[in-house]
Amino acid sequence: MSAKKKLQGRVAIITGATSGIGRATAILFADEGAKVVAVGRRRQKGEELVDLITKKGGEVLYVAADVSKAADCKRVVNTTVENYGRLDILFNNAGVIHIGKITDTSEEDYDRVMDINVKGVYLASKYAIPEILKSEGGAIINTGSIYGNLGAASYTAYCASKGAVLNLTRAMAMEYPDRIRINCVSPGSVMTDMLDEEIKIWGGDQPEQQKAKFAAMQPIGRIAAPEEIAKVVLFLASDDASYITGASIDVDGGFSTQ
């Protein structure tokens, strides 16, 4: 007899689902029995994800949306309920990065980071929570960062945004402690499009050397794969984490312990 899938019968919205951690989590959630609503702005990537999950026998719906827009977040939740009848899990994963000292960061760049990384969590949660409360119980997982607790030169806007996500997670958890478990996963260096962007900025014409430098900075000696973060998100979304709320789990290969 096969083991029961951890998310069988549940419906999950995943933002930032067209690449990196979001994509890996969408695939894993579908493998574990969830009906997945994959949210992202890159339609081609979204359609490719749908094709992949569908061929594996999973259930998935792609919705193109910008999480910094209230109307888009409301539409995502409404579309989810219209198609699947309920909502159990929200993974607020959409995020962007900006590299630059505070004096070199334009107001436009700062607002973009805060709008997607923080306002996106607020808006998606605002519209998702009433539907999750209609279920027997649910979970929200927010993607933070080890830079939510640590300062880093030239990451001013990003650090500010992830610090806000961490404390927003704590506050939200205290508003619905007996109905919705709300937690934060805080990755370190993960091999995603975002890290590729950092490698290009810092590495110039020597990207492989820069990638090796990032790996060497981690006590564990390597950069994480998106799938490794997705497994922690699955844990927090599942009944295995039934007594965890308001927490942040560092998944950083030991970086923040240094």
Active site positions, annotated: 158
List all residues 6 or more positions away from 106 whose beta carbon is below 8 Å from its beta carbon.
none
CB of 155 closer than 8 Å to CB of 99: yes
CA proximity to 167, closest of 138, 139, 142: 142
